[in-house]
């Protein structure tokens, strides 16, 4: 039975990857951080009792800033594959916590690679590094492929650039099987609530159900190549099954503006939205509401721009060219953007119906998501 170790197991991708590897018959180990509240929501359904026969899912305490912990866990577990997904992954927050972001995202990657090396596991253990389309940053060429030059635009992207190159360097210097998956944005119903897609699907669901009046967003012009996390974690696994360690772009090849994502999300609850005005004065209005479940009058102002969500330096346009992965790994995504938004909206409408029920029963709903 193959053993996998996932750092960042409690995150969006860690949860989907855990499910996938368990289905494939792996013994799966994950590193979770100690936190003062439970932080395992996304993987609770996979939990197995410590005394359960044939247990194949294990969570260990650890942190990317603690080399001794990483060395000990890798030595104990002896994984065949490591998926290094742990990161301070929020681009805007990285401007506020740049040193911590570098420690976790850049040096954390070095710690994992070096643990494998000092333990003499270079030949046994394959390593996947969660690289990102944020490396491309300021547009150099479109679409972006494995050969497009990098121009990072945030402390997050700069830290990930170190992680990218240290992965390449350990591969070349020590003959390690270490790969970068340069993944473009991927989302899902369990996407963190402060990333723009989930903020939109939650906000639109709340507006439809009368739990919130308006959605405040930042740069509506930014364009992203959005896919579904379920498709993307499958590619992480496929990358590590390839005969040679290489770097791979994973993307859909289509790009969409934030503004259009908003329109598509409202359309899932039967509402047509029109944007009027420019820059910080741009606003979104309901043109029509066809779904009888949701009664938002025509002309209601439902989207505003708040400059506090602007970034000091922005990545304006991402669109990936995944030809290499398509041709050599057989990459075919199951979800397109419409399917993704439908999946997220169905899930968030259900969630908000529960919140509404609780609210109507007199319970307070926690609402602070920046």
Q: Which residues are catalytic?
A: 132, 134, 156
| Burial of residue 278 (number of CB atoms within 10 Å: 0-12, 13-18, 19+) | exposed
Cis ω on the peptide bond leading into residue 143 (within 30° of 0)?
yes
| Residue 89 engages ligand GDR in binding (rule: CB under 6 A) | yes
Give which of 218, 370, 221 is closest to 305, Cα–Cα: 218
| Residue 139 engages ligand GDR in binding (rule: CB under 6 A) | no
| Residue 315 engages ligand NDP in binding (rule: CB under 6 A) | no
Q: Which of 4, 28, 217, 322 binds ligand GDR (CB under 6 A)?
A: 217
Residue 194 contact, options ligand GDR, ligand NDP, none, Cβ 5-8 Å cut-off depending on partner type = ligand GDR
d(CA 150, CA 158): 10
Distance from the Cα of residue 368 to its chain's centroid: 21
Q: Which of 89, 148, 201, 219 binds ligand NDP (CB under 6 A)?
A: 89
Element (H, E) at 257: strand 256-257
Where are the extended beta strands (E) located within 50-204? Answer: 57-61, 81-84, 126-132, 178-183, 186-187
Q: Which of 43, 64, 125, 286 binds ligand NDP (CB under 6 A)?
A: 64
How many Cβ atoms from other residues are within 10 Å of residue 11's Cβ? 25
Residue (235 or 296) nearer to ligand NDP, CB: 235
Residue 336, φ and ψ in degrees, nearest 5: -100, 180
The strand pairing partners of 250, in sequence order, are 183
| Residue 7 engages ligand GDR in binding (rule: CB under 6 A) | no
| Residue 133 engages ligand GDR in binding (rule: CB under 6 A) | yes
Closest approach, Cβ 357 to ligand GDR, in A, equals 27
Residue 65 contact, options ligand GDR, ligand NDP, none, Cβ 5-8 Å cut-off depending on partner type = ligand NDP
| Residue 101 engages ligand NDP in binding (rule: CB under 6 A) | no
Q: At what angle do helices 67-77 and 108-118 cross, to 10 degrees?
A: 50
Q: Which of 134, 231, 247, 343 binds ligand GDR (CB under 6 A)?
A: 134
Q: What angle do CA 14, 16, 19 make, to 5 degrees?
A: 105
Residue (198 or 208) nearer to ligand NDP, CB: 198
Residue (171 or 230) nearer to ligand NDP, CB: 230
Closest approach, Cβ 36 to ligand GDR, in A, equals 24
Q: Which of 14, 152, 189, 284 binds ligand NDP (CB under 6 A)?
A: 14
Q: For the window 242-261, what string marks contact with ligand GDR as x by the rule CB under 6 A?
A: ----------------x---
Residues 187-206 interacting with ligand NDP (rule: CB under 6 A): 192
Residues 15-34 interacting with ligand NDP (rule: CB under 6 A): 31, 33
- The SS3 assignment for 279 reads helix
List CB contacts of 12: < 8 A, sequence separation 6 or more. Answer: 42, 188, 190, 191, 192, 229
Closest approach, Cβ 12 to ligand GDR, in A, equals 8
- The SS3 assignment for 216 reads strand
Element (H, E) at 171: helix 155-174
| Residue 94 engages ligand NDP in binding (rule: CB under 6 A) | no
Q: CB nearest ligand GDR: which residue?
A: 222
Residue (128 or 266) nearer to ligand NDP, CB: 128
| Residue 100 engages ligand GDR in binding (rule: CB under 6 A) | no
Closest approach, Cβ 98 to ligand NDP, in A, equals 14
Torsion of Cα atoms, 182 then 247 then 240 then 72, to 10°: -80
Which tokens hold the place of 335? 């979800």
Residue (45 or 51) nearer to ligand NDP, CB: 45
Tell me the number of residues near ligand GDR by CB under 6 A.
Answer: 23
Give which of 315, 368, 306, 313 is closest to 136, Cα–Cα: 315
Residue (13 or 355) nearer to ligand GDR, CB: 13
Q: Are 251 and 133 in contact (CB under 8 A)?
A: yes
Contact residues for ligand NDP, defined by CB under 6 A:
7-14, 31, 33, 35, 39, 63-65, 85-89, 104, 130, 132, 183, 185-186, 192
């Amino acid at each position: 039975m193959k053993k996998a170790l996932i750092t960042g197991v409690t995150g969006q991708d860690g949860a989907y990857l855990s499910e996938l590897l368990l289905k494939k018959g792996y013994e799966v180990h994950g590193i979770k951080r100690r936190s003062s509240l439970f932080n395992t929501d996304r993987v609770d359904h996979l939990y197995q009792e410590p005394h359960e026969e044939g247990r194949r899912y294990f969570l260990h305490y650890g942190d990317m800033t603690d080399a001794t912990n990483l060395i000990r866990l890798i030595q104990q577990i002896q994984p065949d594959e490591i998926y290094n997904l742990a990161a301070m992954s929020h681009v805007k927050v990285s401007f506020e916590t740049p040193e911590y972001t570098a420690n976790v995202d850049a040096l954390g990657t070095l710690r994992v690679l070096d643990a494998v090396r000092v333990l003499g596991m270079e030949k046994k253990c394959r390593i996947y590094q969660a690289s990102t389309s944020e490396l491309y940053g300021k547009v150099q060429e479109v679409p972006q492929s494995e050969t497009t030059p990098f121009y990072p635009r945030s402390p997050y992207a700069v830290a990930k650039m170190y992680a990218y190159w240290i992965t390449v360097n350990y591969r070349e210097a020590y003959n390690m099987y270490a790969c970068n998956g340069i993944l473009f944005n991927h989302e899902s119903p369990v996407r963190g609530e402060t990333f723009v897609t989930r903020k939109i699907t939650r906000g639109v669901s709340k507006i439809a159900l009368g739990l919130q009046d308006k959605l405040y967003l930042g740069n509506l012009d930014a364009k992203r190549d959005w896919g579904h996390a379920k498709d993307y974690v499958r590619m992480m696994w496929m990358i590590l099954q390839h005969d040679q360690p290489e770097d791979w772009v994973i993307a859909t090849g289509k790009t969409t503006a934030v503004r259009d994502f908003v329109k598509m999300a409202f359309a899932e609850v039967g509402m047509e939205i029109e944007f009027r005005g420019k820059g910080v004065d741009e606003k979104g209005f309901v043109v029509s509401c066809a779904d009888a479940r949701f009664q938002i009058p025509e002309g209601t102002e439902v989207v505003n721009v708040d400059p506090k969500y602007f970034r000091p330096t922005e990545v304006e346009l991402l669109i990936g060219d995944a030809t290499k992965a398509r041709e050599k790994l057989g990459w075919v995504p199951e979800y397109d953007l419409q399917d993704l938004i439908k999946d997220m909206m169905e899930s968030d409408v259900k969630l908000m119906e529960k919140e509404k029920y609780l609210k109507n029963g007199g319970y307070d709903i926690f609402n602070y998501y920046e």
